[in-house]
A and B are shown apart, each in its own frame.
Chain A
Amino acid sequence: MSAIEHLLNGFAIALSWKNLGLCLLGCVWGTAVGVLPGLGPMAGMALLLPLTFSLDPTGGIIMLAGIFYGAMYGGSTTSILLRIPGEAASIVTCIDGYQMARNGRAGAALSIAALGSFVGGTLSIIGLMLFAPYLADVMLSVGPAAESVMMAVALIIVTAVSSGPAIKTFAMICLGLVAGTIGLDALTADSRFMFGRLVLADGLSFVALAIGLFGLSELLMSLNEGAVEKPRTPSLRDLVPSRIELREAAAPTLRGSAIGFVFGVIPGVSHIVSTFVSYAAEKKLSRTPERFGHGAVAGLAGPETANNATTGSSMIPLLVLGIPAIPSTAILLSALQNHGIQPGPLLLTENPEIFWGLIASMYIGNLILVGLNLPLVGVFVRLLQTPMAYLAPIVVLICFIGVYSVNGSMFDIGVLCAAGALGYWLRKFGYDVAPALLALVLGDRMEAGFRRALAISDGDYSIFWKGPAVKVFLALLLVVIVVKIVTVLRADKLRQALD
């Protein structure tokens, strides 16, 4: 069956009433959490993760993916109208997007961001569709040694590119790996750190940990936040950009798509890096760099497009390698694993309906976001008017219901509360808890690959640096570290512009 036939099948799956509804629900919920400061895609996905267990795997992943790119989209709305980045990747949008709004072009800025997001998202999905099958073929020939090296490299890259202190990120990765060792040993079935409790045989509940570390801790952090001053929301007529603005946005949109796509494929490199690189590239290429920081269309279109292109291409490492390139995709991985499906090179052959259904739903989701969110921008902005003290208790109750529903276990509720308190404390002291979750998801497979490789080589450690696949991963690590150094140097200049 050709890719086109697979894609048509995917559309048939994604366009069923149920999956269309789930995609819509994901997009709306994603936009809402993207709009609310603090509640980013991670928390938004974690909160609805338990709901996916009662759905079929394709429907579940379609909904979660909708939340993921919906949140990315929603984050730009508050950045443009209020200079409040709904999530970290929208920080760059604040620079010129907000200035455009101040210059009376809020509607045009929202439209350009929406169109850029749509183009970036769509082009990255085409890239995903074209490259993923070839990468999957290559990955099938990779052995356990290369697999464990690949995961270790992904975690090292996360440490290298983290925005906070590297030592704290590394500590969080180790904490996640340590937590992942609880339960029965996958190879020998020996009990490890179970303390006589059978409930721990499968390890700590990922759902409880994810919701606690992200959802609950975020809610605790935001309880004292009041309502935000109401911005002037643009009318429908204001949403149409001028011809000059569209012309200025065209080339940055295409460049942003390419930059976002490349950075999304590299494990560990987040949206923030791609948006900063895109902004720097646009400023460098511009004939009027002095307009950047004062409402330059290119300074908005490029990063916004890159942000959404990264979202699409970050699905490649997840679906083809089974590695969540960024923490948000770890939630997607967990959702699939809970249905007994392991993303990786075999996903395309064993579960093509999930892969192609997801791709088709992403096309549809991008259309939904443009068609639904521009007219409803006022509704989403009004969400900001609700103090968190009212919203938070309801969300907490939904968290409890969600966590309990997975195993019917009060132990998991205890884990949820403990993870919430831990997440709150760690965040207060500048620890990013996302890498811990990433390590928790990857730990099992990394350990199994490591032990199997050593068994195959009869204890010879050189197996971990022999072979072309391992060398490719190590080269990738080198490239990312170089890019990180360049980005840090550029970010200093951008920070001055933001100030």
Chain B
Amino acid sequence: MPRLSTRLGDMGTGLALAGLGTWWAWHAAAMGLGRTADLGPGAFPFAVATLLALAGLGCAWRAWRRPDPDQPTVRIEPEALLGAALIVGLAVAFATLGLVVAGALFLFLMLVIVGQRRVLPSAIAAIVVTVVLALVFDRLLGVQLPTDILGLTR
């Protein structure tokens, strides 16, 4: 299972925030800061982005100065990685296949791979749950959903 050094991860996160703040401040400055009585559209973003850059550096500095954090490593659960990959897959399929097909596939894979359930019951559960969700949200509540290739949702 993947483990990350807390110290390095903490420092990396701080530096990433600092980098984002710097980049944001740079672009905000280009928008025009205006003058004190008439601040331009870039003034506020510039100020908060500068603070973000400083706070990010502060976080990185704090991590650098703490040689022994309470937990030396952070565990990235394999279930979370699998789940994240399947969620990205669902996002892609949701637009192209619609809720019922994409949702049933997602539920099935989650139950089998992450939940370690048997194939047939998982397939039945996935189809039933997704169809019920589609009927409730689409037909009953009239919620806007992407076009379904099976034509089950409007």
Contact = CB atoms under 8 A, between A and B. Distances in A.
Given A389-B114, A397-B107, A429-B74, 13 more contacts: A165-B59, A171-B56, A174-B55, A181-B49, A393-B110, A394-B129, A396-B106, A413-B94, A414-B91, A428-B4, A443-B48, A451-B43, A457-B37
Nearest to B38: A455
Main secondary structure of the interface of B (DSSP, over half): helix
Given A405-B144, A425-B13, A429-B13, A410 B95 contact: yes
Contact of A174 (B13, B48, B83, B144): B48
A176 to B, nearest CB: 9
A192 interface: yes
Contacts of B51: 170, 174, 177
Contacts of B52: 171, 174-175, 177-178
B80 A398 contact: no
Contacts of A429: 6, 9-10, 13, 74
Interface size class of B (residues with CB under 8 A): 35 or more
B149 to A, nearest CB: 16
B87 interface: yes
27 contacts: A54-B143, A168-B59, A171-B17, A171-B59, A178-B20, A178-B24, A178-B49, A187-B41, A192-B28, A193-B27, A221-B80, A223-B83, A390-B111, A390-B115, A393-B110, A397-B90, A397-B99, A400-B94, A400-B99, A400-B103, A404-B144, A410-B95, A410-B146, A429-B13, A429-B74, A430-B10, A455-B38
A408 interface: yes
Interface size class of A (residues with CB under 8 A): 35 or more
A454 B39 contact: yes
Contacts of A398: 133
Interface string A432-457: 00000000000100010011001101
A203 interface: no
Nearest to A451: B39
A392 B77 CA distance: 15
Contacts of A397: 90, 99, 103, 106-107, 129-130, 133
A19 B84 CA distance: 37
Contacts of B107: 393-394, 397
Interface of A: 51, 54, 165, 167-168, 170-171, 174-175, 177-178, 181, 185, 187-188, 190, 192-193, 216, 219-221, 223-224, 387, 389-390, 392-394, 396-398, 400-401, 404-405, 408, 410, 413-414, 416-417, 420-421, 424-426, 428-431, 443, 447, 450-451, 454-455, 457-459, 461
A396 B90 contact: yes
Contacts of A416: 91
A223 B77 contact: yes
Looking at B48, B78, B103, B111, the one whose CB has the most chain A CB atoms below 10 A away is B48
B55 A417 contact: no
A261 B106 CA distance: 45
B44 A447 contact: yes
Contact of A401 (B17, B43, B55, B133): B133
Contact of A405 (B39, B78, B114, B137): B137
Contacts of A451: 39, 43-44
Contact of B79 (A178, A185, A224, A428): A224
A171 B60 CA distance: 11
A387 B115 contact: yes
A56 B74 CA distance: 44
